[in-house]
Amino acid sequence: MTTVHADIDALKGLHEAMVRFRYAQREVTERGGDEIELTRASLAAKASHWQARLEQDRAELEACRASGGEEAAPDCSAYARAVEQTGERLELIRRWQQRVEVEADEFRGTAGAFGDLLDSGLPRAETQLLALITSLEAARRVQASGS
């Protein structure tokens, strides 16, 4: 049997720190998941807003073009610029949506493995440490009663 040389209070401190760490990091993982959903929702709302704006801009451009008489075409360049700018904004949002999805998918693998560690690996370590503390305390009691 291996002889254990350890300070019981220090091991208890480590055990308590591991338990606190597990709960705190579980909350961190939940907040990380919340951030993914918040960002997806925010970008979706922006995409929806600018999609509606693009449709409105296009309708205004068409109305401008239709307003011209036979003599001279109306100047609809401001409407055309608005359509172009809104389209660019919408495209940028969609590119960010794609990037967020890709990176969130990659992250889920790492987060899943870490969640498994918090759910099973860390409790196993805590159990082992607690058993060690219990055996040390029992040994100290035997020593104390024999002295």
Partner 1 sequence: MPARPDRDGDEQLRLLGAAWEEAARHWQDEVARQFEADHWTPLVEQSRGYLEALRSLLDTFEAAERDTEF
Tell me how far CA of residue 140 lies from CA of 8, 61, 147, in angstroms: 10, 87, 11
With residue 5 as reference, give the H or E element that holds it.
Answer: none
Q: Of the two residues 43 and 61, which places its CB atom closer to partner 1 in the complex?
A: 43
How far, in Å, CA of 134 to CA of 26, rounded? Answer: 27
Q: Of the two residues 110 and 147, which places its CB atom closer to partner 1 in the complex?
A: 110
Binding pattern for the stretch 7-26 against partner 1, x by CB under 8 A and - elsewhere: x--xx-xx-xxx-xx--xx-
How far, in Å, CA of 91 to CA of 31, rounded? Answer: 29
6 binds partner 1 (CB under 8 A): yes
Closest approach, Cβ 22 to partner 1, in A, equals: 9
Tell me how far CA of residue 37 lies from CA of 23, 24, 30, 141, in angstroms: 22, 20, 11, 54
Q: Of the two residues 45 and 73, which places its CB atom closer to partner 1 in the complex?
A: 45
The correct pick among 62, 75, 77, 121 for binding partner 1 (CB under 8 A) is: 121
133 binds partner 1 (CB under 8 A): no
63 binds partner 1 (CB under 8 A): no
